[in-house]
Structure 1
């Protein structure tokens, strides 16, 4: 089968022919990929940022946002059958460790992460587990939802956690309305009555945010903190959800937060620099957000089937993988880029 592989860090990936995966265990599920999301993490992998953490041996197939149709199943699989449309939770988990038993499978002690530490979905087929597949509603197609497997799931996880503390009349600032942020805005709109203020440096991204539910949009051109404070009566927002996490976003975002507020960190790339006395005197909380759980993905698929969360995507055939990566790196992708074998 065709697969796009990392052959060396700091180098462009290459398409090559590799053996298709087969059933090796009773709970295995082989999926014919119908869509693979192109994520900024893929750029970081190619740069070598994940080399030490993943410990993967090159060459390795990337791609961790995957959806498709079931091609084959192990003899103990009962939740899906050949031909079913599915989306894949990004982790393959054991189901037996303490974290899995508590429903916190994101922190499984025995997990594998296709596209990060094992072969992923920039390919025609991928092997995963019955514990990782969610059957899609008949109205959904794999290429249309593939990026919800990680970008959408991460955005849902953060927005759902933020929504638990938001009340009608509260304000929530969303920093970044790109591939994750535009999903987060929709989730917040579906789960809370709070007023949503979106900050981004791109007029196109702000237009997209407004079209999917933002109550106010603020252009990040130097006065974004003042503009947010003006919209929040000078007090700041009860919650900030930061999908950027670099380029000064955290510095500005903290200044947009009111006393006793929550700052949800999703994007990464810079250090938080805030005096500890400011944290305790205002009783602000910082919350880190990784990818969501299997249950989170099931809930997100309900919202997708209801039409309350929609992806804005640009599709590329698999052999144009480099164009997709280049467009993402250059900021030319509105929403998410999807590779379709």
Structure 2
């Protein structure tokens, strides 16, 4: 089969032929990929930012946003069958550790994360587990929903955590309206009555945000922090969802957060450098967010299949994976790039 393989950090991956995976263990599931999302994390992986955390051995296949059709199942699999349309939770988890038992499966102590620390889904087939599979309506096109498996679940997880803070009359700032942010806007609109303010440096992204539920849009042109403060009577927002968190955006996000407010860090790549006196004197919270749970993804798919959350995508054939990565890196992708084997 064809797969997008990383042979060395700081070098372009290659599309090459590798053996197809097979179901060897009782709970293994092999999925024929119908759509694989292209994520900024893939760029970070290529740049070696994940090497010390993942411990992966090169070469390997990247891609952690995957959906498709069940191709083969292990002997103990009962929740899906060959031919089922599925979206895959990013991690294959054990189900037995305290985190799994508590429903916080993204913190599983014995998980495998295809595309991060094992072969991923930018390929024709992917090996995963029964615990990662969510069965979809057979009419669903995997390429239409694949990016919900990471971009979607990550945005939804943050919004779901913020919902209790976003009662009517509050303001939520969405910092960055790209692949994750445009999903976060829709989740906020579907699940809260908060006023949604979207900040982005790209006018086209703001135009899209306005169609997805944003009440106000602010161009990140250097005066955006002041603009948000003006919109909030000088106070800042109760919640800021920072989908950028690099190149200074993370500092701006904290500055846009009101006293006793919460700055949710979802994007990554930079450092949050804040004097401790500024944290304690205003009681602002900094909240980390990692992917999301299996239940988060299942709930998100309910919203998606009801038409309340839709992905804006640009599709590429698997052979054009390097073009998709280059377009993402250059900011030419609105929404999410999807590879279709």
Moved more, 308-317 or 158-167: 158-167
CA contact (8 A) 2:36 2:121 kept: yes
CA contact (8 A) 1:30 1:127 kept: yes
CA contact (8 A) 1:42 1:62 kept: yes
Deviation of 1:63 (Å): 0.4
Corresponding residue for 1:273?
Answer: 273
Supply the RMSD in Å over aligned alpha carbons. Answer: 0.8
CA contact (8 A) 2:84 2:138 kept: no
What TM-score do you get using the length of structure 2 for normalisation?
A: 0.99
Correspondence list, 1:290-329, <5 A: 290-329=290-329
Correspondence list, 1:1-341, <5 A: 1-341=1-341
Deviation of 1:245 (Å): 0.2
Runs of 5+ consecutive residues of structure 1 not aligned to the other structure: none
Deviation of 1:209 (Å): 0.6
Partners of 1:236 and 1:51 in 2: how far apart? Answer: 37
Moved more, 229-238 or 329-338: 229-238
What TM-score do you get using the length of structure 1 for normalisation?
A: 0.99
CA contact (8 A) 1:139 1:305 kept: no
CA contact (8 A) 2:89 2:294 kept: yes
Deviation of 1:250 (Å): 1.8
CA contact (8 A) 2:149 2:297 kept: yes
Deviation of 1:138 (Å): 3.8
Deviation of 1:139 (Å): 4.5
Deviation of 1:51 (Å): 1.6
Deviation of 1:226 (Å): 1.1
- Count how many residue pairs are aligned between Structure 1 and Structure 2: 341
Helix, strand or coil at the partner of 2:174: strand
Runs of 5+ consecutive residues of structure 2 not aligned to the other structure: none
Deviation of 1:164 (Å): 2.0
Partners of 1:30 and 1:116 in 2: how far apart? Answer: 18
Helix, strand or coil at the partner of 2:281: helix
Partners of 1:284 and 1:52 in 2: how far apart? Answer: 31
Partners of 1:256 and 1:57 in 2: how far apart? Answer: 41
Partners of 2:139 and 2:288 in 1: how far apart? Answer: 33
